[in-house]
Amino acid sequence: MKKAFVQLHIAVFLAGFTAILGKLIGLNEALLVWYRLLITVLTLGLILFFRKQLQRLSLKDALKIGGVGLVVALHWVTFYGSIKYANVSVALVCLSGTGFFTAFFEPLIFKRKINIREVLLGMLAIAGIYIIFDFYPQFKVGVIFGIVSAVGSSLFPIFNKKLLVRFNPATLTLYELGGGFLFLCLFVPFYLMQFPAAYYLPTTSDWLWLLVLAWLCTVLCFDLQLNALKKISPFTANLTYNLEPVYGIILAFIFFHENKSFTGHFYIGVGLILLAVILQMGGLWYTSRRIVAQ
């Protein structure tokens, strides 16, 4: 059990480190994600092939899973866009708005009643984002990118809930990321017309960080999470992943000294978001205890 917790926390730390890599890689956000997906899909495909775990799916299933990959690709592009047009801390703060959108989209898609508590907690996080948006107008474009990224982040796990009933996680990940890559092959040229890139081929340092991003923060992170879930419940894993923005912001303060750019209003906004996360975690913990007691 202890090993599983260590694996899970390493996976969460690696997930938080992706934001740092987004700052270190100088490529335009769309090209960054295109190269990340290219390396990841090739690597994961080869791993599954040599492990003899590579599964063939029907065209209908492949298109359905690939459609979810489209959401993932757009989420990543807008997340890294938020980093490029604002900074790491702002991007991660905006990502905390995921809970607000989930509170609406999940009941809508699964046709269940909206949970008012989840909506209120989500609105608390949105209030924190608004404070940052209002007092830092220079981050306006980055905040808009970040909010769109939060929408994608909320939709991805909702769609995956249905797919995980029929497909194993490794196959699902490969086909989703493969679908996202094919979508970006068509989407990137049009995106670059609106958001031109300074250059198109990665530099030597870009290649180094892209390999770290693809191999450590995507493939290894995915493998560690799956191994941890063999011993740890999904509930515990979801609570632990709430630490991802916290790790990312701390790393941004250490690597890029972003804390020097902010006044008290930023920390008020972050405080509201953290309060929403803590209350959500407490609510989930209390609910799980009641279920166990019954």
Q: What is the pLDDT of residues 246-256, one digit of tens each?
A: 788 889 999 99
- Banded pLDDT at 237 (limits 50, 70, 90): low
Q: What is the pLDDT of residues 19-77, one digit of tens each?
A: 999 999 999 999 999 999 999 999 999 999 998 888 889 999 999 999 999 999 999 99
What number is the average pLDDT over the span 79-104? 88
Percentage of the chain lying above the pLDDT 90 cut: 42
Neighbours of 190 (CB within 10 A): 9
Neighbours of 78 (CB within 10 A): 26
Cα distance between residue 229 and residue 237, in whole Å? 7
What number is the average pLDDT over the span 107-119? 81
Q: Indicate if the pLDDT at residue 267 is higher than 70.
A: yes
- Banded pLDDT at 157 (limits 50, 70, 90): confident
80-89 burial, b if ≥16 CB within 10 A, otherwise e?
bbbbbbbbbb
